[in-house]
A and B are shown apart, each in its own frame.
Chain A
C-alpha cells in the first residue's frame, strides 16, 4: 500500500467530521436553524426601512452571514475541540502516524461545509420571506466569495487557538458562547452599527466580527448606504487587512498553544 499523504487523510477526516456532525441532531439544529429563527424574529419585529431601499432585514441578513462565519468556525471549533480533548480523541490521534495537519484539514472541511450550508440557508430564507436582495453585480459576488474564504479561514484558526481557553469540554460552551454573543451585539449584527455608543464601536473595531459584518454590508447593501458607515465609505481594503491580520495572529497563537491532551 502506498503511503497516505497528509492531504488525503485530511480529506477523509473531513468526510468523517461531516458525517459525525450530521448525526448529532442537537448541534445541527443549534448551528443551522438558530440563525434562521433569529432572522425570522428580527425580520418580523423590525419591518421598517432604515434608508432608501434598505430594509432592516437586508441589514440584518448581512450581519447574520458574517455571524455565520463566526458560528461555524470559531464557536463550533472552540466548543468541539475541548470536548475531543476531554474524551481522549486528540490523544488517541496523537498516538497514530496521522499527520497533525490532517486533523486541522478535516476541521477546515467541516467548517467550510457547515458555513456554506449556513450562508445558503440565510440567503434563501432572506430572499424568500423577507425581501432580501442577493448581491447585485458580479463584482459583489466575487467580493462575497473572497469574504467567505478569508473570513472562514480566520474564524477557523481563531477557533482552534481559542480551544485551549476553556478548562474542560463541559464548560466550553459557557466560555465561548458569551464571547460570540457580546461580539455580535458590539459589532452591529443585531443593531445598526452607527447607532451604537461610540466606545462600543471602538471596542468592536478591534475584533474581526465588526469587519466581517461591514464587509457583508458592502456586498448586500446598495453603495449609496456606504456614506452612512462610520468612515463614510465601505473601507474594503482595511476590512480584508484586519481580517487577514487576525488570521495571522490566530495562526501563531494556535501553533504555540495547541495541546493534544488535557494537563
Chain B
C-alpha cells in the first residue's frame, strides 16, 4: 500500500473567507475515499487544489508523489496518470460518443481502448449518438468515460450521480467498484450519504474549512455505539425510547406485552443522521 494523496496543513483564503483552514488528509492506493460536507465547506476548493486547478496559500500537497501545482512537462506527465470527472459539463454536443472518447484517448500515453470504455460505462448502444441527444444520466456516463479513457491511477469524481434514477445509480456504483478493483484509487465528493455508504471505504467530513472526522462509514461519528431508537405501540399511543441496550428493552417489552410487541421498530442512526449531527454541532 502506498499513499496516493497526502495533504498537510492546507490553507486557502478568498479575501476574508478562509475556505480551507488547515486540512490534513492521507488517501491510500486502491481505496474509494468520499469527501462529505455542506456547500461552502471547502470541499470543492480542496479537491480543485488536488486536481491542480487552483493554487493554495500554504501547506504540503502530494498527489501521486507530485505537487499538483507543478507546471510544464512534469505537470503534463502527472495529468497523464489522473482522471477528472467534473460536475455537470455540457460540451461536445455535436460529436458522437465514440468521436469524443476516441479523441480524448489521443491525449494519453497509454489509453484504454475507446470501445471497451464505452461498453464499460454502458453506452454501447449510444456510441454513434451525438452528445446533445443523450439523457442526463447518459451524458454523465460519457463524462466518466472521458475521465477514465487515459487509464488513470487516480480518479476524481465530483457529484457523479446527480440526476440519476435509482437503477442508473446502482449501475454506476458497480462501475466505480470495478474501476477500484482494477487498481484505481478514487476520490469521490457527493451530497448523497447513501452513495458514500454504499461505495466508500472511508469518508471524511469537512465543514468550515477543516476536517471534522475521517472514518469508515460504519464507524463515523460513533455510529456503531450510538443509541438505538426503539419504538412500539402502547394502546393508542406510539411510544419511542432511545437506548444503549435495545435488546434488553425489547426483551422487557416482550414480557410486558406477553410475546409480540405491537409495531416494534428498532433503528440505529443512519449515516445521514450522524452526518447532520456532526455538521450541526460544528456550527455551534
**Which A residues fall within an 8 A CB radius of B?**
1, 3-4, 8-9, 12-13, 16, 19-20, 23-24, 84, 87-89, 91-92, 94-99, 261
Question: Chain B residues near A3 (CB, 8 Å)?
Answer: 109
Contact B109 A91 (CB under 8 A): no
Give Cα A89 to B131, complex, Å: 13
Give Cα A150 to B269, complex, Å: 69
- Please, which residue of chain A has its CB at the minimum distance from the CB of B84? A95
Q: Name the contact of A89 in the complex, choosing from B88, B91, B110 (C-beta under 8 A).
A: B91
B249 within 8 A of A: no
B104 within 8 A of A: yes
Besides A20-B95, A95-B79, A97-B79, 10 more A-B contacts (Cβ < 8 Å) are A12-B103, A12-B106, A16-B103, A23-B94, A88-B86, A88-B88, A92-B91, A96-B104, A96-B150, A97-B107
Question: Chain A residues near B84 (CB, 8 Å)?
Answer: 92, 95-96
Q: Name the contact of A4 in the complex, choosing from B94, B107, B130 (C-beta under 8 A).
A: B107
- Please, which residue of chain B has its CB at the minimum distance from the CB of A260? B53
Give Cα A178 to B163, complex, Å: 39
Find residues 103-131 in chain B having any chain A CB closer than 8 Å to their own CB: 103-104, 106-111, 130
Contact A91 B77 (CB under 8 A): no
Give Cα A1 to B108, complex, Å: 9
Contact B79 A91 (CB under 8 A): no
Question: Chain A residues near B89 (CB, 8 Å)?
Answer: 87-89, 91-92
Contact A97 B80 (CB under 8 A): yes
Give Cα A13 to B77, complex, Å: 20
- Please, which residue of chain A has its CB at the minimum distance from the CB of B104? A96
Given contacts A1-B109, A20-B94, A20-B95, contact A95 B86 (CB under 8 A): yes
Question: Chain A residues near B95 (CB, 8 Å)?
Answer: 16, 19-20
The secondary-structure label for the interface of chain A is: helix
Question: Chain A residues near B61 (CB, 8 Å)?
Answer: none
Q: Name the contact of A9 in the complex, choosing from B79, B92, B107 (C-beta under 8 A).
A: B107
B142 CB to closest chain A CB (Å) equals 11
Contact B53 A88 (CB under 8 A): no
Q: List 28 A-B contacts (CB under 8 A).
A: A1-B109, A1-B110, A1-B111, A12-B103, A16-B95, A23-B94, A24-B94, A87-B90, A88-B86, A88-B88, A88-B89, A88-B91, A89-B89, A89-B92, A91-B53, A91-B89, A92-B86, A92-B146, A94-B53, A95-B51, A95-B52, A95-B53, A95-B82, A95-B84, A96-B84, A97-B76, A97-B107, A97-B150
Contact B53 A87 (CB under 8 A): no
- Please, which residue of chain A has its CB at the minimum distance from the CB of B90? A87
Contact B109 A88 (CB under 8 A): no
A204 CB to closest chain B CB (Å) equals 36
Contact B51 A87 (CB under 8 A): no
A8 CB to closest chain B CB (Å) equals 8
B17 CB to closest chain A CB (Å) equals 15
Question: Chain B residues near A16 (CB, 8 Å)?
Answer: 95, 99, 103
Give Cα A48 to B199, complex, Å: 76
Question: Chain A residues near B106 (CB, 8 Å)?
Answer: 4, 8-9, 12
Contact B107 A96 (CB under 8 A): yes
B125 CB to closest chain A CB (Å) equals 21
Give Cα A94 to B51, complex, Å: 10
A17 CB to closest chain B CB (Å) equals 10
Contact B103 A88 (CB under 8 A): no
Give Cα A9 to B105, complex, Å: 10
Question: Chain B residues near A84 (CB, 8 Å)?
Answer: 91
Contact B91 A87 (CB under 8 A): yes
Give Cα A96 to B106, complex, Å: 11
